[in-house]
Amino acid sequence: MLTRPTVSVIILNYNGLSFLPRCLETLQKTSYAPLEIVVVDNNSTDGSLEYIRQNYPRVKLIEFRENLGYSRAYNAAVPQVSGEYTVLLNFDVEVAANWLDQAMELMEAEPRLAAVQPKLKQYQNHDNFEYSGGSGGFIDRFGYPFVRGRIFDHIEQDTGQFDDVVPIFWATGAALVVRKSAFVEAGGLDGDFFMHMEELDLCWRWWLTGWEVKVAPRGEVYHWAGAALAADRYHKMYYNHRNGLTMMFKNYSPWNVLKSFPARFLLDWITVFASLLRKEPKRSLAVLASHWYFLTRLPVLIRKRREVQERRRVKDRDYAHVIFPGSIVWRYFVHKQKTYRQITTEW
């Protein structure tokens, strides 16, 4: 019998004591083995570490003395784990027993597969897809993300409509199954993102260098959407817009930057004015702050873009099948198309 490769599950924790017990309890029932469970702590103050030491002494702990954010914490932790494969897992999840089985079958069968995500569904309602992952993520040509099962704030019920294994543009960072060698080769996550969109940027860099990303929908993970930033909508909106612009600028070819950036800025400014009309000033401020960040950081971003483009192995057209060629903003808000199937009918 062939020995199966070790998978290291890295749970990034920051004051997650209210969720960790259920997360760790369900992980113990994972059917895949061998499994290493690691908790990386971003300087929690809620007793998380004491709870783990008392109740899960076999769980490996990596402790940081400050909150490094999502990207830097994972970049520091991944080299310290033993597995050939690793999973970047949020603390606010519970997992089905078979959540890793199909993902690992795909990883072992396809050597150019950098990452896979299981199906993500709501922690509160297992019948519905979850905002941050659904059954695999995509972007439109202007960098706006969406998933199979969720367009903007419209969530679909899972009726088996997205149970096929397909290439996806990005896999959710809430439950990201990664080939460690691909993670290291790509240089890890962009530490300047701090949080939000960092997995999209990483997956884009994988596509640029000839790797692929897929969804393994037989496995399910249940995610409590937005638990880490539930009380801070402003920063969520700010990082999403800021990091979306950064990601596009770094990764698109020069021609596609010229084609897509003016329209992206226009769409963002429409958001600013529409939010003011809806009396949502925080959203307007978040978009404006993201543009200010982008413009003031342009010299640094130009250097980063150069580094990314030097690693490029394929042209944008070689992975165009995972980027929607139109605008989901236009389809959703003007044509009132609310589901993945409605929006992508002609794709």
**DSSP letter assigned to residue 128:** B
* Residue listed under structure tokens 């079958």: 105
Q: What is the C-alpha to C-alpha distance for residues 9 and 259, in angstroms, rounded to an integer?
A: 40
CA angle 38, 44, 49 (to 5 degrees): 50
Q: How many CB atoms lie within 10 A of CB 225?
A: 18
CA angle 223, 147, 292 (to 5 degrees): 95
Q: Evaluate whether 200 touches 99 at the Cβ level (below 8 Å).
A: no
Q: What is the C-alpha to C-alpha distance for residues 184 and 283, in angstroms, rounded to an integer?
A: 35
Element (H, E) at 138: strand 137-140
Give the residues across from 175 on adjacent strands: 89
End-to-end CA distance of the chain: 44
Tell whether pTM > 0.75.
yes
Closest residue by Cα to residue 250 from 152, 143, 164: 143
Q: What is the C-alpha to C-alpha distance for residues 226 and 214, in angstroms, rounded to an integer?
A: 24
**CA dihedral angle for residue 139, residue 144, residue 150, residue 155, rounded to 10 degrees:** 180
Each of the 347 residues of the chain gets a pLDDT tens digit; together they read 578 999 999 999 999 999 999 999 999 999 999 999 999 999 999 999 999 999 999 999 999 999 999 999 999 999 999 999 999 999 999 999 999 999 999 999 999 999 999 999 999 999 999 999 999 999 999 999 999 999 999 999 999 999 999 999 999 999 999 999 999 999 999 999 988 899 999 999 999 999 999 999 999 999 997 545 444 588 889 999 999 999 999 999 999 999 999 999 999 999 999 999 999 999 999 999 999 999 999 999 999 999 999 999 999 999 999 999 999 999 999 999 999 999 998 78
Q: How far is CA 59 from CA 35, 80, 169, in A?
A: 11, 14, 32
Position 194 scores a pLDDT of 82
**Dmax of the chain from CA atoms?**
65
Neighbour order of strands in the sheet with 175-179: 60-64, 35-42, 7-13, 85-90, 175-179, 113-122, 212-223, 93-95
* Residue listed under structure tokens 């061998």: 34
Report domain extents, the chain.
7-229, 233-343
* Residue listed under structure tokens 């969109």: 197
CATH of 7-229 given 3.90.550.10, 3.40.50.720, 3.40.50.300, 3.40.640.10: 3.90.550.10
- Ramachandran angles phi, psi of 67, nearest 5°: -80, 105
Tokens representing 257 are: 């930057």
Q: Evaluate whether 273 touches 265 at the Cβ level (below 8 Å).
A: no
Position 346 scores a pLDDT of 79
Q: Which long-range contacts (CB under 8 A, 24 or more apart) does 272-281 make?
A: none
Q: Is 290 left (phi over 0), alpha (psi -120 to 50) or beta?
A: alpha
Q: What is the C-alpha to C-alpha distance for residues 170 and 215, in angstroms, rounded to an integer?
A: 9
* Residue listed under structure tokens 């959203």: 283
Q: What is the C-alpha to C-alpha distance for residues 156 and 150, in angstroms, rounded to an integer?
A: 6
Nearest-10 crossing angle of helices 233-251, 298-311: 50
